[in-house]
Structure 1
Amino acid sequence: MRNFKQKLPPLDPLVAFEAAARHLSFTQAAQELHLTQAAVSQQIRALEEFLGIQLFTREHRSVSLTQQGRDYQHTVAATLLQLASATQEIKVVDRDNTLTVAADQSIATLWLMPKLNEFQALHPDIKLRLIASDIAEDCLNKNVSIAMIFGSGHWPGYEGVRVFAESVYPICSPEYISQHGEIHNVKDLVNHHLIELEDQNWDWMNWRRWLTANGVDMPVERLCMSLNSYPLVVEAARNGQGIALGWKHLVQTEDGKLVNPIKSSVETEDGYYLLWHKDRPLPPEGRAFIQWIGKHLEQSSRSGNLINTPQPDIIHKKSRN
């Protein structure tokens, strides 16, 4: 167990030693620290007694560092500088301008991160703290101002709005189709290399649920890969390693790297929700973030890419009790 009190000398002698070692003068160190020369000399003597070594060679009108003193100076100076910088950072940071946003790994990596440059350019005064976690308790922590997570929309104590409905369809690379042949219907999928997401959330769509929703009760023959990260699932599909399930708005098919081979999808009542505490008023930074999200929803609605688009001002929405 660490016991810094027993292992470390008091801070004041260390500060006095650093100044004296830097100036090679007890007098100049005293002037810098607004102490008397005798006080600096006494603190350094106490430090030497604590260490059991001599740090300075004292002559009539000058001092010089011993070899042990010079070695110690390097560590003490660097440590004090780091401690001072950390202390100053804590003192000057305006925490009122820090906005903590939490999202699951999928939405954070695939949808939110590519857009954050725009938000930061529009609001350079807001310090954004992003927490990415697939554990709901992390995202709904009391220190989180806004959460963006997947579910049914029922979180006691929170207000929110569904921003994306759940629309799920197969995705794969064009190269996979070239190597394995065209897929003509949903039944053909059970004979292909399917990539599955291992997820602890029971309501997350998997291949068995998706196939059943499309009227296919045949067993999956070739589940070739299971991954516990959805961004990795998408990357595996992009690399031609199989067919995965793609969530609309989390995957891009416009760039030609991913395609929906059969143009079939499954839609549910679940989706991604934007949530904030019901009993805590949103700070201006939070309102700015939500309005920024709202603009993206409007743009997607006009282009026909969003299902169930909420109204532009999505701050004033019903509570989820």
Structure 2
Amino acid sequence: MAALKTRLPPMTGLTVFEAAARLASFTKAAAELGVTQAAVSRQIHLLEGSLGFPLFHRLHRRIELTEKGLLLSSSTTNALNAIAETISSLTRDSDEELAISATVSFSQFWLLPKVSGFSRQYPEVRMRIISQDKTPGMEGDVDIAIRYGNGMWPDGKADFLFDDEIFPVCSPEYADRLGEYVDLTDLVRHPLISYDTNDPSWTGWNEWLAAFSVQAPKRSSGMRCSFYAETIHAALNGQGIALGWRRLVQDLLDQNRLVRITSHAMATRNGYFIVVPARRERTEPVKKFAEWLKLEAALSALGGRP
């Protein structure tokens, strides 16, 4: 087989071509690479000359890949990404942290109470939990994110973890004031603790009550919170009734710190997913953590460990 050097065009030209093809712009490619637009144009011209066919259609104020350009763009991007990931894995510290991104509520109520089990099983893996109230991102060095949604995100590969159900909860002391049976029409007369969010996937009191044909009060006497975790803490402290997402509050129910006050429950539209960066190979720590998450999800669905 002939040496690669004689079969491949100059790497500089391929690198410039990959950027121009991905960004669909010589100007944007120049900005990304830190060179002039003229330098990009020249490298593309030299590459096309060495290949013997055009890679772009030069149109008015824009460029389009030719059919052969499309094929080369796909293979070049995949090859360069593979090289970058291999170099990253080779130069990575063997005692590297595993960066895990999740919402504050998922971290506080589901992940942190369980994660010591992973540490006991894999003591060599150091973890860093990145909690945020928005959709957990893939920015920086995040290795794995736990997200709630429909599983379709352009920046990551998603594996289903579990879905959920939602029902009203309160402290045992507050439940004593309600009595044994709580009618939903009576429920709205009590303080309903709510969570202010612009997330359309989140289920609030209006939607939950509407699912059971109950009109939400125009103005609830309940506390309004900026974070879901705050609504649960308010319920724990007897401030009223909150909507409990079963997967998040199950430990508190098991400990009798919260109680479920009605059999009515609403299934969530979406689910929780394990998400890894789209163009990154799964490292062994990521694989181990993902498998541990799935096992814990299965065990919690069964009501605990066998």
Task: Tell me whether 1:244 sits opposite 2:229 in the alignment.
Answer: no
Q: Residues 186 and 162 of structure 1: is their aligned pair in 2 closer, same or farther, counting only changes over 3 Å?
A: farther
Matched with 2:233 is 235
1:100 partner SS: strand
Quote the offset at 1:182 in angstroms: 4.7
Counterparts of 2:165 and 2:221, CA distance in 1: 22
Matched with 1:7 is none
1:154 partner SS: coil
Matched with 2:115 is 116
Matched with 2:187 is 189
CA contact (8 A) 1:108 1:132 kept: yes
Matched with 2:293 is 293
> What letter corresponds to residue 178 of structure 1 in structure 2?
D
CA contact (8 A) 2:164 2:271 kept: yes
1:231 partner SS: helix
Task: Tell me whether 1:263 sits opposite 2:299 in the alignment.
Answer: no
Counterparts of 2:254 and 2:124, CA distance in 1: 34
Alignment match of 2:137 (pick from 136, 139, 162): 139
Quote the offset at 1:160 in angstroms: 1.4
> What letter corresponds to residue 102 of structure 1 in structure 2?
S
Matched with 1:159 is 157
Matched with 2:274 is 274
CA contact (8 A) 2:102 2:145 kept: yes
Aligned length: 212
> What letter corresponds to residue 140 of structure 1 in structure 2?
M
Matched with 2:13 is none
Quote the offset at 1:282 in angstroms: 0.7
Counterparts of 1:201 and 1:215, CA distance in 2: 23
> What letter corresponds to residue 262 of structure 2 in structure 1?
I
CA deviations on 1:90-148 (whole Å, 9 max, x unpaired) are: xxx93662211100111011110111211112111111111001222x52225211000
Counterparts of 1:95 and 1:194, CA distance in 2: 49
CA contact (8 A) 2:164 2:247 kept: no
Q: Residues 226 and 301 of structure 1: is their aligned pair in 2 closer, same or farther, counting only changes over 3 Å?
A: closer
TM-score, normalisation: structure 2: 0.64
1:281 partner SS: coil
Identity, % of aligned positions: 33
Quote the offset at 1:185 in angstroms: 1.9
CA deviations on 1:28-47 (whole Å, 9 max, x unpaired) are: xxxxxxxxxxxxxxxxxxxx
Counterparts of 2:274 and 2:290, CA distance in 1: 8
> What letter corresponds to residue 205 of structure 1 in structure 2?
T
Q: Residues 132 and 115 of structure 1: is their aligned pair in 2 closer, same or farther, counting only changes over 3 Å?
A: same
Matched with 1:284 is 284
Quote the offset at 1:183 in angstroms: 4.7
Counterparts of 1:296 and 1:127, CA distance in 2: 19
2:117 partner SS: helix
CA contact (8 A) 1:150 1:271 kept: yes
Structure 2: give runs of 5+ residues left out of the alignment. 1-91
Counterparts of 1:179 and 1:108, CA distance in 2: 31
Counterparts of 1:95 and 1:304, CA distance in 2: 34
Alignment match of 2:214 (pick from 199, 216, 225): 216
Structure 1: give runs of 5+ residues left out of the alignment. 1-92, 306-321
CA deviations on 1:32-68 (whole Å, 9 max, x unpaired) are: xxxxxxxxxxxxxxxxxxxxxxxxxxxxxxxxxxxxx
CA contact (8 A) 2:95 2:126 kept: no
Quote the offset at 1:180 in angstroms: 4.3
CA contact (8 A) 1:190 1:221 kept: no
Tell me which moved more, 146-155 or 211-220.
211-220
Cα RMSD for the two superposed structures: 2.2
The 5-angstrom pairing of residues 34-113 of structure 1 reads 94=93, 97-113=96-112
2:114 partner SS: helix
Counterparts of 2:298 and 2:210, CA distance in 1: 33
Runs of 4+ in 1 over 6 A off after TM superposition: none
> What letter corresponds to residue 267 of structure 1 in structure 2?
A
CA deviations on 1:187-217 (whole Å, 9 max, x unpaired) are: 2211111100112312211100110111112
Q: Residues 202 and 260 of structure 1: is their aligned pair in 2 closer, same or farther, counting only changes over 3 Å?
A: same
Quote the offset at 1:285 in angstroms: 0.7
CA contact (8 A) 1:97 1:125 kept: no
Matched with 2:64 is none
